[in-house]
Structure 1
Amino acid sequence: MLHYAVVFFVIALIAAVFGFGGIAAGAVEIARILFFVFLILAVLSFIFNALRGRH
């Protein structure tokens, strides 16, 4: 999922360079959402893995 966030960020940068403001803004929003979803899932995974490792 982090890979997709980076891909959309790169698409946003390329679109911004060529002057496609609407596409760049949309790609940035998608990248931001995917990054935060990845971050939340990673934290939950670490927590559940730590709790499971105790027993």
Structure 2
Amino acid sequence: MLSWALLFLIIALVAGVLGFGGIAGASAGIAKILFFIFLIVFIVSLIMGRRTPPPT
């Protein structure tokens, strides 16, 4: 998911340099959303991975 966010960030940068403001804004928005989803999933997986197994 982080790779998708980086891909959309690169698309936004290239579109911004070439003067396509609408495409750059949309790609930057998508990259931001994907990055925050990645962060949430990463934090949840860290929390869930640190739990100790129940005693048997």
TM-score, normalised by the number of residues in structure 2: 0.92
**Following TM superposition, by how much is the alpha carbon of 1:13 offset from its aligned partner in structure 2, in angstroms?**
0.2
Q: Distance in 1 between matches of 2:28 and 2:13?
A: 9
State the superposition RMSD in angstroms.
0.4
Give the gaps of 5 or more residues in structure 1: none
- AA of the residue aligned to 1:17: V
Moved over 6 A (4+): none
| Percent identity of paired positions between Structure 1 and Structure 2 | 49
Larger radius of gyration: 2
1:17 aligns with 2:17: yes
**Following TM superposition, by how much is the alpha carbon of 1:34 offset from its aligned partner in structure 2, in angstroms?**
0.1
